[in-house]
Structure 1
Amino acid sequence: MSDRGSSRPPSAATLRRLERASGSLATRAVARMDDVLPWFRTMPADQRSWVMLVAQAGIASLVEWCRTPTRPPRLTGEVFGAAPRELARVVPLKHTVDLIKVTVEVMDDFVESVAEPGDADALRLAVLQFSREVAFATAHVYATFAESRGAWDARLEALVVDALVRGERTEELSGRASALGWAAMSPVTVLVGSAPAAGDAHGATRRAARQLRSEVLVGVHADQLVVVLGGADRLEAVAERVSDEFGPGPVVMGPVVDSLSRAGDSAAAALAGLRAAAAWPGAPRPVPADALLPERALDGDPVARATLQERVALPLQGAGGEVLETVRAVLASGGNLEASARALFVHPNTVRYRLKRATDLTGLSATDARGGWTLQVALALAALDADRSLWH
């Protein structure tokens, strides 16, 4: 609110002289900025020209402001209309305050030379009052920009997460994420689970991830919370902490990949794992998607089926009949090594040796409940595939 009613405005002649001098004053203001503000000297030429335009617009707005004392100020559009968004994007609020201060100082220095005789005090007071109004307008510009930037960031983040869920694998994802401040190149993983019914899932998840120095993108896809994590040394520890922010039910961690452009692969595996997780009620939270390979394969996931073939069935088949035969015998006996040895007519130590070879090849132990289940599913699916190939 202006208090110009308490003093007379500058005369029309003074305002005409100020209007004619606006270009010169703006040039002098920018020259002084260059002298006293080290950061201003490093600005690109186009950004400095924006400052010149805003300074000229500010002086023109001062003239109009003084000519119509009863008109409410509309300084946001008048002063910053030349480059509002660009300035707010590249110049911090503190620096903009410095620019206004320098401009006001230059105008104050030239009051005597611009004002008509007897008008100097009125013009000087008008400059000071106007600078206060500009300060309020500046705060409004930056507040509006922050609000719109926040809304834009939320939309862009939702688009990035949705693209990952839909399986997009393009380099554009990295560019979009960079616009959101994503700086990590690798590693990257995707975490999926149910969205919490109440509370700020986005804010809580971000805080949890950033406490462990991880990059994070958050999105809600249908009723699922999808979280992209990256850049941390131990993503497993970050995923464990972040999983506390999900709703009830399983939380699945996709495989760690080397870049955001491949995060779609991690998301696909995590979502497939989430669909199949009900078949493993005792799964940890979070559970790696690869730990759910047998359930995913049974649920019809072709990637899981191919992975079991590659990681389990083929290595055992390539190790020779004795190793594969021993694994089958141990599985059939429920993990009883002595019974397996009798069935195979070998010593129990021979069974142990062959099982160790099988574990080295597949990373799975036939005597472990979970490992035995994965081996059983992998070998059963391999047998079905082999049988089908005979019919074609």
Structure 2
Amino acid sequence: MTDVRESGLRLDGVSVDRWLSARISELSASIVIELSEQLSTCASRPPAGLHGDTSGLVRSCMRLFIDTLRTGEPPGRRQLREIRESASLWADEGIPLEVLVSAYHLGVDVCAQSVVTAAEPEDLPAALQVACLLLRFLGQVMPEVLAGYLESRLATAVEEHGERRAVLSALLAGQPPEDAAARAAVQLPARYAVISLEIGPHPDELGTNDGDRAAAARRRLRRMRTEVERTASGTVLHMLSADGGLLLIPLDETAGGTASDTLAPHERDRLLVLADRLGCVTRAEVMAGAVPARPDAVASAARLAAEIRHVARASSRPAGIYQLGDVAFDYQMTRPGPARDHFATLLRPLATRPHLLETLRAFLSCGLDRRRTADRLHVHPNTIDYRLRRASALTGLDPARGCDLPVIYAAFAAGESGPTGPCPPD
């Protein structure tokens, strides 16, 4: 390609690089205006901040291109390093990545359009050469822009995660969290919803290839974190893995439940929405125990939430979010004593018939829906009916009878926690 310096392109009697240099202020102003119209994040910034931050970025981009245009040489190693460092600084300043990328692309587009518009017909080949050089320029600088920005954001994310984890650790240890919260810029709410979370398996994670399972687990964890941040309000503290973990979700200061250990209806509704969203993004069942607690009571609330979740799972409840009141009877049956020992024996007749025990457990966890149970166990619905009748005949407990249903739930829960229970853990 012919050197642009030898192309003879002149606009208003001067070389194209000098022509662009004289119009940096005018062109950068038009670019900032267009950015504010195209990008909601940019338009939401105060006008002074928008002009001061983004205009400086645009001017820097244009000057670098004009240097390339004047010398005919691509940006050197030192210039590329400066571009990467500059992008890192913009990330630290909170400029969104889409604004940064658009500033470079719009800067190139406006320069090309202005040159082509001002050129005479006989200068069109040289003007097109300038446009081609602009595209090559973008191809050289954009990888550095993205790398610098993402390196900075990753470092910031790691730092923020560590600071928030310190707040969570203090709360779980029962230590004063105020200093850690101040360092993390976390405003402690009056109450948290302390949630012990369990995410069921997904077929993608049951393959034989370790690499595939690990990749699926990473995708799941990333989606979970994204959904928690998107759905919950305030700063959520979490300790998550691909199969569950612990969430501390801020609750409204003015909206308490009817009791100290109960969520208000609208708070519970919000958590149900979150559980539904987590189920959608992971394509798996979500089981959780939830306990509202003041910051100084988070440690004990976390233990109770885990017990509630375990009891709900052990008693074959359907997937969902449970509070203590939802499983209070079953919870009490897991406490050591003669009552637990009695309930633990009720399903013992099924210990030698695991297919009947499995069917009864699945029927409860499927919300007493025989067709869903049949789909889960890959059998005909009539087979489910037959097995339930056999289980009822052996135990004297019929899940279709309202008075027997809580007893069956309690029997499963007691069997899970008791030393002689018939049911192996899930």
TM-score by length of 2: 0.45
